[in-house]
Every structure is written in structure tokens, then in C-alpha cells.
Amino acid sequence: MREKARVKVTVKGFVQGVGYRFFAVRQANNLGVKGYVKNLLNGDVEAVAECERETIEKFIESLKRGPSFSKVADVEIEWEDYKGEFKGFDIRF
């Protein structure tokens, strides 16, 4: 059985107002990742994702690229214990 994992990713840079959250939802849905993405008040974007660790690592790579108009400066990754609390992947406000 593949190892289930959970990660909190904080994306820094020019990542708000450029379709970043919608990009993250498309990537997550393509990979079968569950969780959410949201804008933070400081201009960063936060994503929490659960899936097999290998799949999450692919998701993180896509978050590092971002959509074409974004400029990702840094990505902070915090691995957490898998909880299995999400049904899908959506945008939170």
C-alpha cells in the first residue's frame, strides 16, 4: 500500500490575482489530490493537500511553477500527519 501523506504548502511571490488558486484546483483534480487552497492576508497562498506522498510531491512541483502570470519566489513545505478529512479539492475564503 502506498503511504498516505498530508502537506501544508505556503507559496510566496506574485501569486494573488493571477489565477493561482484556480490553477491549484486544476492540478489537484488532475492528480486526485484532496484538500484546499486559499489566499492569505499577507499576499501568500496556502494549500493543504492529502493523497499518496508520491502524488503530493508532483502536486508541489506544479505549485512551484504556478500559472503563467504568477511569479513564485519561494515555497515552504510542512509535512503533517494524514487525516483523511477532505472529500475533494476546493478554494477556501
> pLDDT tens for residues 4-47?
999 999 999 999 999 999 999 999 999 999 999 999 999 999 99
The mean pLDDT value for 64-84 works out to 98
Domain 4-82 has CATH 3.30.1300.10: no
- Rounded Cα distance between 78 and 93, Å, is 21
Q: How confident is the model at residue 1 (pLDDT cuts 50, 70, 90)?
A: low
Q: How far apart are CA 2 and CA 43, in angstroms?
A: 35
Domain boundaries, the chain: 4-82
**Using an 8 Å Cβ cutoff, are 16 and 43 in contact?**
yes
Catalytic positions, written as ranges: 21, 39
> Which pLDDT score, from 0 to 100, does residue 2 have?
82
Share of the chain above pLDDT 90, in %: 98
Are 81 and 15 contacting, i.e. CB atoms less than 8 angstroms apart? no
The reported pLDDT for the residue numbered 78 is: 98
